[in-house]
Structure 1
Amino acid sequence: MSDLAATDDLFFQQTGLARERAEKIVDDALAGADDGELFLEYRQSESLVFDDGQLKNASFDTTQGFGLRAVSGEVTGFSHASKIDEDALKRAGETVKAVGRGHGGTEGANPQGTNRRLYIADNPLDLVDFETKVKLLADIDAYARARDERVRQVSVSLAGSWQAVQILRGGGMRAGDIRPLVRVNVSVVVGRGDRMESGSHGAGGRVTYERFIDPVSWRGAVDEALRQALVNLDSVPAPAGEMTVVLGPGWPGILLHEAIGHGLEGDFNRKKTSAFAGLLGQRVAAPGVTVIDDGTLADRRGSITIDDEGTPSSSTVLIEDGILKGYMQDRMNARLMGMAPTGNGRRESFSHAPLPRMTNTYMLGGDADPGEILASVKDGVYAVNFGGGQVDITSGKFVFTCTEAYRIENGKVGAPVKGATLIGNGPEVLTRVSMIGNDMALDPGVGTCGKDGQGVPVGVGQPTLKIDALTVGGTAA
């Protein structure tokens, strides 16, 4: 069954809303507007948390609704409701059509075509029964506690969702998508005497739970979380000052996402509030630095067959060999900037208007051996895993906390360090990349990006990188 046929059943047959009537209301609401769409959504989601050796929380939720938007120039009219019927849709239409009066602009043409299916349509919540999920969490907990006598606490969570969407645009254009999403996360606390440290690891993607029920998969997640915790148990205070920093492959790409990626989204550049505004075609990074946002990767957490405006996702080159080549665009900002949408119009749910957002954002690999990169550093820090961070889009300044990092001395990785933060400026960091590893890796599938109060699943990735000068905030006396 096609995505359109499957979503027709959810949004029209089961609700009693006639599709022809919905299309007429949409056409009427968007008359005179430059752009807009009806976004229909049905979502099932669940979450299970196993803590202190027992199931602490289990939740299941079903939501459905619509968001109707009309756009004229920079003005947006948006109305949403959790009930899908003709009366609610008519009221929303009357609300949003007001923006089409007295506002001129360039009309946005409907998107053409769609991607091949990037992930399965199966509902992961239905394929594994509740008892099996609880047993999985209990098995993970027992395995983690048996691995090492220093384990003090184990927390395991399992989350999944199944989202069906359909977008209706003026003139009868329709697009649909069915999006599964699962994630498992393991957190381990270890102790020695009065000192306790933690480690965590997770994995996920647009797949079913089967991949994580496999003991090879979840035991690997436990082993990694335990490894991080034990590393931190032996950590010493981090040094402070400006020094060479080597970033590990994979998840450290979250720094790239926050410090650089947001600054390459269309809205910030149209409003000229990004440090990258007006720099298309200019060098913004060291030679060899190529950054891509790709929503077309199969099964990845940040992938989408179509975005939430109906535009097929794409692989967008943002920076190529250090030269700024493009921005991530939704339809409104692309139209106002005279550019093409890139399939990056995303929203958290039917109750939110779309924004230009990242999908899977990563830096391509280079030709340097990771061991060679580390051996080239006389004095520095090797940052392998990150926690939270903050970034100022306008200035590009960021602060990130390392959850696993090591001292580098005379080309050798030394003691793990605790309390290290990386402080810098995203655009400046790009120009200080001096070596790029040949080990590009994507994150394990755990990222969620926040913007304007909306969270969406994303992916990140990068190879090992050598940054010649970056401020490290440490705790060493």
Structure 2
Amino acid sequence: MPTQPQTDLSQFGVTEQEVLRALARVKAPAVDYADLYFEATRSESVSMEEGLVKRATKSISQGVGVRATAGEKTGFAYSDELTKKDLEIAADAARYIAASPQGGSPVPVTHRQQPAHNLYPLEQTVAEVATQDRVALLNLIDQEARRCDPRIKNVFASINMEYKIVMVVNHEGLAVGDVQPLARLQVTCIAEENGNRQVGSFGGGGRIGFEWFREQDRYVRYAKEAARQAILNLSAVEAPAGVMPVVLGGGWPGILLHEAVGHGLEADFNRRKTSAFSDRIGTRVASELCTIVDDGTLPFRRGSLNMDDEGTPTSRTVLIEKGVLRGYITDRLNARLMGIPLTGNGRRESYQSVVLPRMTNTFMLAGEDDPQDILRSVKRGLYAVSFGGGQVDITSGKFVFSASEAYLIEEGRITKPVKGATLIGNGPDVLTKVSMVGHDLALDEGIGTCGKEGQSVPVGVGLPTIKIDELTVGGTQAS
């Protein structure tokens, strides 16, 4: 079993003395907390269209983000140059924004630590995978998808890989680093028949290496699934409209949970009292069948981390337990200001970004119902298997989601595929209408990316099959 690579300050071309001096400049008497976040990232991607490589890129970036917090104020500055002078300039800027023109408080010698977890040990880094190997895999995907059906007219496939080294050093003496791999393979197929063109997409990934896509012929499954969805959509009928029971399938439909509920449980929104869940700890916010957790400790998952971007070990946090709100997702700043536990959810897109409380892998725990019994309980409704885009208003909890794969349920049976279905509702309200929860919890394939305040971070979602008694479905046919 490969071990977690070691990280230290020398990998960024700085010494411990230079870092300590920079921290001393940040840590003014009025500053509550100060840290430096070092990051070096190597990214590579290859994409193919119509059997031809359309794009191949490689990029390398590195830099440091310097942060100071004082009360509710955050001072932040960053530099892509890692010289002594640039560290000092960034340190002075962060301190001045947060609190004071004068720094100089003593900082203890750092205590080097290893991350509490080792969730994604790798045998091969991004740099060790030849571009021709990636191109060869994309060619195989193109062939597999076209082989599925002659109506597949075009195939788009891409593979993106990232290898990130990070290190956090704070004024309390903590110095901890991590090496964070990330890979994603995406396949999109275009099907056409009698002038009707439809799209199907599928993909997966995680904190894994290139060979993972070859293992168990995963790339073959991705190609066939994307082709299947495209062909299926050729025969889809217009979605019904109206209020009806909706059954959500397992896995990726958990994105609805992530958007409609998860964001509302992030601590910054609740500290500012702009969330529909503000001041509701200990109260019932969902059906007693609903237990929802955020877990950053699942091995190799896209949303998992050995430590968050503040150096705090990630954890499994129960957010809603049997319908009762138990806690929020926190970073250091909001945990301190709210007087609630630190959960290891302080995340940032890069060294150029401020820390925000963000989800990792968010999902509902399995229940006891048989998924087939759930479907049989619906006389007429919608079965949503996969979703495309969506949006939510954090304050009200209102959401709108488009279903990329959905079916009619008639007399307890799945019948026609439908297109153009949107789900419209209110997150807290929807949770109270969950009447059945399946025993088939599934996590998504590893494609999720979450946006917040202009920052994107990788996340995971999950869901068992669930029944929502009433939900508004937007479509073009009267129900």
Q: Same fold (TM over 0.5)?
A: yes
Q: Which deviates further from its counterpart, 228-237 or 342-351? A: 228-237
What SS does the aligned partner of 1:210 have? helix
- Aligned pair 1:25/2:22, yes or no? yes
Query: Where does 1:251-262 land on structure 2 (aligned, <5 Å)?
Result: 251-262=252-263
Query: Where does 1:330-345 land on structure 2 (aligned, <5 Å)?
Result: 330-345=331-346
Rounded to whole Å, the distance in 2 between the matches of 1:321 and 1:151 is 45
What SS does the aligned partner of 1:280 have? coil
Rounded to whole Å, the distance in 2 between the matches of 1:102 and 1:216 is 59
State the TM-score, normalizing by the size of structure 1: 0.95
Query: Where does 1:23-172 land on structure 2 (aligned, <5 Å)?
Result: 23-32=20-29, 33-98=31-96, 99-101=98-100, 114-122=115-123, 124-172=125-173
Rounded to whole Å, the distance in 1 between the matches of 2:3 and 2:90 is 28
Rounded to whole Å, the distance in 1 between the matches of 2:287 and 2:3 is 45
- Aligned pair 1:219/2:220, yes or no? yes
Rounded to whole Å, the distance in 2 between the matches of 1:132 and 1:476 is 48
Rounded to whole Å, the distance in 2 between the matches of 1:102 and 1:166 is 27
2:448 paired residue number = 447
The answer on whether the counterparts of 2:187 and 2:222 sit within 8 Å (CA) in structure 1 is yes
The structural deviation recorded for 1:215 is: 6.7
Question: Per-residue displacement from partner, 1:313-340 (whole Å, max 9, x unpaired)?
Answer: 0000000000000000001011000112
Rounded to whole Å, the distance in 2 between the matches of 1:68 and 1:145 is 50
1:184 paired residue number = 185
1:381 paired residue number = 382
State the TM-score, normalizing by the size of structure 2: 0.95
- RMSD (Å) for aligned C-alpha atoms: 1.9
The answer on whether the counterparts of 2:115 and 2:177 sit within 8 Å (CA) in structure 1 is no
The letter of the residue matching 1:21 is E
The structural deviation recorded for 1:128 is: 2.0
The letter of the residue matching 1:76 is T
Question: Per-residue displacement from partner, 1:96-155 (whole Å, max 9, x unpaired)?
Answer: 22223399xxxxx99998422111255531232111111111111122112211111100
The letter of the residue matching 2:35 is E
Question: Per-residue displacement from partner, 1:167-201 (whole Å, max 9, x unpaired)?
Answer: 00014311111000001011111111110111111
The structural deviation recorded for 1:445 is: 0.2
Q: Which deviates further from its counterpart, 294-303 or 213-222? A: 213-222
Rounded to whole Å, the distance in 1 between the matches of 2:10 and 2:19 is 14
Rounded to whole Å, the distance in 2 between the matches of 1:470 and 1:69 is 44
The structural deviation recorded for 1:341 is: 1.3
Question: Per-residue displacement from partner, 1:190-248 (whole Å, max 9, x unpaired)?
Answer: 11111011111101000101011347111111111111111111100000000000000
What SS does the aligned partner of 1:6 have? coil
Rounded to whole Å, the distance in 1 between the matches of 2:84 and 2:10 is 16
The structural deviation recorded for 1:52 is: 1.3
The letter of the residue matching 2:241 is A
The letter of the residue matching 1:18 is T
Q: 5+ unaligned residues in a row in structure 2: which ranges? A: 103-107
Return closer, same or farther for 1:171/1:376 CA change in 2, 3 Å cut-off.
Answer: closer
- Aligned pair 1:321/2:318, yes or no? no
Return closer, same or farther for 1:5/1:225 CA change in 2, 3 Å cut-off.
Answer: closer
Return closer, same or farther for 1:148/1:3 CA change in 2, 3 Å cut-off.
Answer: closer
1:265 paired residue number = 266
Rounded to whole Å, the distance in 1 between the matches of 2:323 and 2:101 is 43
The structural deviation recorded for 1:255 is: 0.3
The answer on whether the counterparts of 1:123 and 1:162 sit within 8 Å (CA) in structure 2 is no
Return closer, same or farther for 1:366/1:189 CA change in 2, 3 Å cut-off.
Answer: same
Rounded to whole Å, the distance in 2 between the matches of 1:437 and 1:240 is 26
The structural deviation recorded for 1:4 is: 8.2
Rounded to whole Å, the distance in 1 between the matches of 2:302 and 2:272 is 29
1:307 paired residue number = 308
The structural deviation recorded for 1:88 is: 0.2
1:356 paired residue number = 357
The answer on whether the counterparts of 2:4 and 2:121 sit within 8 Å (CA) in structure 1 is no
Query: Where does 1:187-206 land on structure 2 (aligned, <5 Å)?
Result: 187-206=188-207
Rounded to whole Å, the distance in 1 between the matches of 2:401 and 2:291 is 22
What SS does the aligned partner of 2:327 have? coil
Rounded to whole Å, the distance in 2 between the matches of 1:210 and 1:196 is 33
- Aligned pair 1:475/2:476, yes or no? yes
The structural deviation recorded for 1:7 is: 3.5
